[in-house]
Chains A and B, each alone.
Chain A
Amino acid sequence: MFKDLSIKRKLYLGFGAILAIILTLLIIAYNRFNSLSEANLWDRHTMDVIQAIDNLRNDLLEVQVEARGYYLTGSPARLDRTRKEQHDIPEAIQKLQQLTKDNPVQVTRFTKLETMINSWGKDVIETQLVMREQLGDKPGAADAMGRTPQLATITNSAIGDIYKFMNDAAAEERRLLGERSAASSNLQESMRLVITVGGMACVLLGALVAWLLVGSLTSPLSNLTAAVGRIAAGDQGARAEVLSNDELGKVTEEFNRMAQSIQDSQAKEKAVSDQLRAKVDSLLGVVSKAASGDLTGTIDVTGTDAIGQLAHGLDRMFENLRSLLNNVQKAGIQVTTSATEIAASAKQQEATGIEQAQTSVEILSTTKEISANASQLLKTMEEATAVADYTTTATADAQGNLRRMDSTMQHMVSATDSINAKLAALSEKASNINSVLITITKVADQTNILSLNAAIEAEKAGEAGRGFSVVATEIRRLADQTSVSTWDIEQMLKEMQSAVSASVMGMDKFSEEIRRSVGEVRQVTDQLSGVMDQVQKLAPQFDAVLQGMQSQAVGAEQISATMMQLNDATQQTVESLKATSEAVHQLQYAAGDLQTSVANFAVAV
């Protein structure tokens, strides 16, 4: 709320607050002073009343004194004076009544006093004065007067009452005076307190208002100063915080707007310069690449400004250079390719020539060998013819032998079959023996039991059966031996049977072998017959070969001579091809140099 006020209002408000405090204090103080002066007036009034009472007393005393003087002297002057003093008393009483008319107690008191004084004046003074007048100048008048009851009695009651009454009034007034002075001192005390406390409050409030004002004025200023300092130090984004809505707040806002516009314009400037630099950099990059031989860089800078025009010119220049270099490179590659092709074909030709020469030499030597071989073959063929004749006769003999062998084999097969039959008969006999053996074993077992029972019976017969017991034992031993022998025979028989069956198996295998051999022998015989037929056909063919061989030897010699001539021609061709190859090599080197120097420029985009 306080922030939303303007500085002028803040100042007005602050000083107004201070003034209001001082004014309040002053009003309070004024009221207090008024009360104090009123109290003083009342004090004075009381003092006046007391003084009036004193004056009345004085007047009464004067009346008494003058009256007594008159009593003593009887001089008329004194009487006049008495009268005069008497005349003053009502005035004094009136004055008192005037003064105390606000106090009804005192008014009644003083009314009563007036009547008392009046009665006293009438009863005492007037009577005595009259008495004295009557006495006149007679001697002893004074004494006579003195003897009057009014003077003689010591306790003059009337005047005493009056004095006493007056004293009461005076005491009443003094009491009032005491009260009033106490009230006045109270007032004074409160006055001091108000001034002290009010003054302090005033000072404190003033200080508070001053502090608030200073704060509201200086904090936006220092905030602004700090922002300015930060901007000056280079922080473009620095802004002052808007702390209030007063004039300083507006100043801060304006300052912030100014800083923003400065920052914006600087950013714009920087962007422009960056763009320019980027363009120059890109141009520079392309130019540097071109300087190092790489012409592939493209210029993508456009525009109508100086840089754009420069870029355009450079682009055209690079384009021209590229096409030029492209042409040169293509030409170099074509030259190199052609040279390489020529060199390759020359090499090939050379190689072919050399090969040809070698081949002709080889053919020459081969031809010589062929003619030598042909004559050797001629001899061998003659020998072969003789061998073939011999083979024909030998084969016929072998055929006869094989036929004999075949018949022998047939005999062997029939013999094996008869052996097999005999072995089967043997096996059957063994089985018969086996059944006989089983019978024997049974008999032996029965005998064994029989002997046991015999032994038992003998035992039961006691002494009479002793001899029988021995016999029974013998029978049993015999039965046991029979058992053992039977077991032995059984074992032998088993071995024999297994041997027979092994023999049967062996014979079977043997006869199988023989049968196969017979088949093979027949096959061999057939083959030999075929061989013999072929061998007999060989002899006339050998003669034909012999004749061919002879004519071949003659032809080989002729070929040899022709090949010698061909060889010489080939050697000459190879020489000339070598020279061509040398020249083509030099051309190739030159083309290569051209290509490498052009290849330093990269032109492909």
Chain B
Amino acid sequence: MKLLVFHIGADRYGLRLREVVRVVPLLELKQLPLAPEPVVGLMDYHGASVPVVDLCLAAGLAPGPDHFDTRIIVVDYRAPEGTLHLLGLRAERVQGVQDVADRLLTESGVKAAPFLGQVAGDAHGMLQVVELEHLLTPALRIALFPNDANAVDADEHAP
């Protein structure tokens, strides 16, 4: 399985490559006043407005300063309702793509943040998979994609 490797704080984490849409350099974001905590702003992605979430803030850490390898990873976020959304993730020290064998992945066995998935060890230490569908809390999801609830309602009422 191929993972896009980046850092949250001092530790390495990976996103499944098939969920990643694009990696873009860090750019000036439109500020969203009074937005919930991990949301840092809006970016313009080929004309579409995409909300950006800081992974450090989402993990409860302080965001680090901007570096040349701090990037915004544009991902396909699949809501539990089944709708797909583009979502920007501010990630630090984006290293690149790493191929991790499936047999090396094991369960962490510790119940921590809900988006933390399996772990694998290699020469550079431990690497943990980030489960994208658990990244947003329900409240945050409603705040970011308020149309989802209406869509579900519409789906239910359609038949």
Which residues of A pack against B, CB within 8 Å?
Answer: 441, 445-446, 449, 452-453, 455-456, 459-460, 473, 476
Contacts and interface: CB of A to CB of B under 8 A. Distances in A.
B20 interface: yes
Interface in B17-75: 17-18, 20-25, 68, 71
Interface of B: 2, 4, 17-18, 20-25, 68, 71, 94, 96-97
A449 B96 CA distance: 9
A460 B18 contact: yes
User: What's the dominant secondary structure at chain B's contact region?
Assistant: strand
Given A445-B25, A446-B25, A449-B23, A455 B18 contact: no
Most buried by B among A445, A456, A476: A456
Nearest to B20: A456
A452 B21 CA distance: 11
A455 B95 CA distance: 13
6 contacts: A445-B25, A449-B24, A449-B25, A456-B22, A459-B17, A473-B97
Most buried by A among B18, B23, B24: B23
Contacts of B18: 459-460
Contacts of A453: 22-23
Nearest to B16: A459
A77 B28 CA distance: 213
A463 to B, nearest CB: 14
Contacts of B96: 452, 455, 476
A582 B21 CA distance: 135
Contacts of A476: 96
B24 to A, nearest CB: 7
B97 A452 contact: yes
Contacts, number: 34
B17 A449 contact: no
Nearest to A452: B23
B23 A456 contact: yes
Contacts of A445: 25, 68
Contact of B97 (A441, A449, A455, A460): A455
Contacts of B20: 456
Contacts of B24: 449
Given A449-B25, A455-B96, A456-B22, 16 more contacts: A441-B68, A445-B25, A445-B68, A449-B24, A449-B71, A452-B4, A452-B96, A453-B22, A456-B17, A456-B21, A456-B23, A459-B2, A459-B97, A460-B17, A473-B97, A476-B96
A476 B23 CA distance: 13
A123 to B, nearest CB: 178
B25 A455 contact: no
B34 to A, nearest CB: 32
Contacts of B17: 455-456, 459-460
Contacts of A459: 2, 17-18, 97
A233 B18 CA distance: 145
A115 to B, nearest CB: 171
A520 B71 CA distance: 65
Nearest to B25: A449
A447 to B, nearest CB: 11
Contacts of A441: 68
Contacts of A455: 2, 17, 96-97
Contacts of A449: 23-25, 71
Nearest to A446: B25
A449 B27 CA distance: 13
Contacts of A456: 4, 17, 20-23, 97
A476 B68 CA distance: 15
A452 B2 contact: no
B61 to A, nearest CB: 24
A459 B96 CA distance: 13
A452 B94 contact: yes
A473 B99 CA distance: 12
A445 B17 CA distance: 20
Nearest to A441: B68
A476 B4 CA distance: 14
A476 B97 CA distance: 10
A492 to B, nearest CB: 20
A445 B26 CA distance: 11
Contacts of B21: 456
A452 B17 CA distance: 10
Nearest to B95: A452
Contacts of B4: 452, 456
Contacts of A473: 97
A441 B2 CA distance: 27
Contacts of B2: 455, 459
A251 B48 CA distance: 152
Contacts of A446: 25
Most buried by B among A452, A453, A455, A476: A452
Contacts of A452: 4, 23, 94, 96-97
A441 B24 CA distance: 16
Most buried by A among B4, B24, B71, B96: B96
B88 to A, nearest CB: 14
Nearest to B94: A452
B91 to A, nearest CB: 12
* Closest 7 pairs (CB-CB, A-B): A459-B17, A452-B23, A455-B97, A456-B20, A449-B23, A453-B22, A459-B2
A134 B96 CA distance: 221
Contacts of B71: 449
A318 B96 CA distance: 135
Nearest to B24: A449
A445 B23 CA distance: 12
A445 B27 CA distance: 14
A445 B24 CA distance: 11
A244 to B, nearest CB: 122
A459 B1 CA distance: 10
